[in-house]
Amino acid sequence: MASEPALEPAPQDYPARVLAPGQVVDQFRIEEHLHQGGMAQVWRVSRLDRPDDPMPLVMKVPRIMGGEDPASIVGFEVEQMIMPLLKGLHVPAFVARGDFTQAPYIVMERIDGPSLRPRLDAAPLPVAEVVDIGIRVATALHDLHRQHLVHLDVKPSNIMFRRQPDGTLAEAVLVDFGLSRHDQLPDLLDEEFTLPMGTGPYISPEQVQFVRNDPRSDLFALGVMLYHLLTGERPFGHPTSVSGLRRRLYEEPEPPRALRPDCPPWLQELILRCLEVRAERRHPSAAQLALDLQHPQQVALTERAQRVRTSGTWATLRRRFAAVGAEPAGTRGAAEQAQRNPIVVAALDVENAPAALLDMLRDTVRRFLHDGGSTRLACVSVMKTARIGMDELTDAQGRSRHVKQLVALKHWARPLARELGLGDGRLTFHVLEAPDAAEAIVEFAQRNQVDHVIMGARGASALRRYLGSVSSQVVAQSSCTVTVVRAPAE
C-alpha cells in the first residue's frame, strides 16, 4: 500500500461514511448527490475557503463498508496518487484529496458535458460521428501518454466532453484513473493482485498477459469502442472469466463491413489495426491514429480493409496454438513510447523556395528520421488564399494550383521515401488552403499533436524584418519544437 500500514486500520474496519447535503468535509460543503457507482459515489460540493472560485467541483468518495473488493480500495489510492500529476484540458483539474486515516476523498473539477455512455445505447451511430469521437478520444489519450500515464480502463463511461460556450461539445476528458499506471509511481495493482485488471470487453491482449505499461493498450480499448459505436456489436463479447478474456489472443472479430456495409474501407482498416493482438502491429501512438482519422484519404490500406469475413476455424486453431506460452513484446513506458514515435511536419514553400533551401530541408529531415522509431512525416505546404475576394484556383495554364503543390510535395519527398523506406502510412502530404501561412502551419501542428516542425527561412530583408517572417511567427506561436533551416546567402 502507498500509506504506512501501522498508521491506519485494515480496510474492513472503516465505518461506512454516510454523507448528506449540508455536511462539511474539511473545507468543502456537500451540496447534492450525483452518482452512485460500484466502487465510489460522487457528490457536488462547494468550496468554503474560496467561495468566489467559479470552478464547479465534485467530490469522489470510495465505498468502504466492509467486505468491499480490496482492488477498489487500492484503486482509489492509485487515483489519489495519479490525479495531482495530471494537467491539461483532457483531465479534470485536481483540487484536493483526503487521507484514508481521516476521510478519503478526491475533489476535482466537474466536467459540464455528457459522458460517452449514452451514445453506446444509440449504436450504431453515423460514420461521421464515430470518426469524430475517435479523433477526440485519441487526441486525449496522446496527451495522457505524454504525461507518463496509461489509462488501462478506456470505455464510454470514463470519457466525458467539455462544452463550448455555444453548447457544442469540445475536448474529450478521461476520468477514473483507479486502474491506471503511471511511469513514475509504484504500480500498486500489479504489486498486490494476480488477475488482469480492467473492464472485460475493453481489456487488451497484453493486459490479459499482465503487461500494464504499454500505451497501445489504450488504443485497443479505443478500437473496441469504435467498433461497438459503428456496428452496435462488441468485437469480443462481454467475457466474465480469464479464459474468456484469453480468447481475444487468437479469435478474430467479425469485420465491421460484414455488419455495417456502408463502413468505409479506410475506417475498417484503422479499427482492425487497433484490435491487432500484437501491440506492435497497432499504431505506434495515439497521435498517429488521430492523424489518420482526420486524413482518411492518406490511410495506407492493407488486406484488413477488404475483409468481409473471419479467416476460418483452421486459422483460429493455428493462432490459438501460437498463443500458448507467447509473451507480448514489452515497452519501457507511456511517455517514451510517445516520444519514440513522433509526428514531424516538414513545412515547405514548394512554389517559391530556392532549390538550395529545399535540398537543405530534405537533408535536415533525413537526419532527424534516421533516429529510428516509427516517426510519421507529414509534408505540408500552404496554398495562399485571399481573405476578401475571389481566389485564383488555377495557374496560367489552367492547372489546379492545389494539385500542382501536392505533386511538388511528393516530388520533394520521393528521395526520402526511397532512402528511408517510408511506407505503411508513415509519409503523408497536406496542402492547406489559408490566407496566412504561419497561422495554418501552427493550427495544423496543434490539431494533429505534432512534436516537431522543420521549415525553411529565406534571407533577411527589410520587408521581412518589418512584417515578420513566416518561420518567426511559427516559432513564436507553436507549442512544439520548431527547427528553422536558413537558406544560403542569395
What is the DSSP code string of 147-184?
A: TTEE-S---GGGEEEEE-TTS-EEEEEE---TT-EETT
pLDDT at residue 16, rounded to an integer = 46
Domain count, the chain: 3
Question: Looking at the predicted structure, is the pLDDT value of residue 9 above 50?
Answer: no
158 and 288 in a single domain? The answer is yes
Q: Is residue 169 part of a domain?
A: yes
- The two beta strands, 57-62 and 28-36, are unpaired
DSSP designation for 400: B
Q: b vs e for 262-272, b when ≥16 Cβ sit within 10 Å of the residue's Cβ?
A: ebbebbbbbbb
Better-scored residue on pLDDT, 147 or 189: 147
393 and 441 in a single domain? The answer is yes
Question: Looking at the predicted structure, is the pLDDT value of residue 481 above 50?
Answer: yes
Q: What are phi and psi of 291, to 5 degrees?
A: -65, -45
C-alpha cell at 311: 479467416
CATH, residue 431: 3.40.50.620
Question: Looking at the predicted structure, is the pLDDT value of residue 148 above 70?
Answer: yes
192 and 140 in a single domain? The answer is yes
pTM here is 0.85
What average pLDDT score do residues 29-56 get?
91
- The residue from 290, 325, 360 where one domain ends is 325
| Model confidence band, residue 1 (pLDDT cutoffs 50, 70, 90) | very low
Closest CA to 173 of 228, 96, 108: 108
> What does the pLDDT look like over 254-313, one tens digit per residue?
999 999 999 999 999 999 999 999 999 999 999 999 999 999 999 999 999 999 888 777
- The residue from 55, 90, 109 where one domain ends is 109
Handedness of CA 7, 11, 13, 15 (dihedral sign): positive
Distances (CA, A) of 197 to 72, 191, 207, 219: 11, 12, 7, 16
pLDDT at residue 466, rounded to an integer = 47
| Model confidence band, residue 241 (pLDDT cutoffs 50, 70, 90) | confident
385 and 465 in a single domain? The answer is yes
| Model confidence band, residue 387 (pLDDT cutoffs 50, 70, 90) | low
Domain membership of residue 287 as a residue range: 117-325
409 and 348 in a single domain? The answer is yes
Residue with cell 516509427: 374
> What does the pLDDT look like over 342-353, one tens digit per residue?
889 999 888 888
98 and 159 in a single domain? The answer is no
Average pLDDT, the chain: 86
241 and 367 in a single domain? The answer is no
283 and 204 in a single domain? The answer is yes
Q: Is residue 257 part of a domain?
A: yes
- Please give the Cα distance from 265 to 339 (Å, whole number): 30
Question: Looking at the predicted structure, is the pLDDT value of residue 14 above 50?
Answer: no
Instruction: Identify the weakest region by mean pLDDT among 106-120, 134-148, 180-194, 285-299.
Output: 180-194
Q: What are phi and psi of 313, to 5 degrees?
A: -65, -45
- Please give the Cα distance from 321 to 317 (Å, whole number): 6
Instruction: Identify the weakest region by mean pLDDT among 61-70, 94-103, 128-137, 327-336.
Output: 61-70
- The residue from 75, 109, 143 where one domain ends is 109
- The two beta strands, 159-163 and 169-174, are antiparallel
Degrees (nearest 5) of the Cα angle 439, 443, 446?
Answer: 140
Contact 109, 95 (CB under 8 A): yes
Question: Looking at the predicted structure, is the pLDDT value of residue 327 above 80?
Answer: no
pLDDT at residue 132, rounded to an integer = 97
68 and 168 in a single domain? The answer is no
pLDDT at residue 429, rounded to an integer = 85
CATH, residue 148: 1.10.510.10
437 and 459 in a single domain? The answer is yes
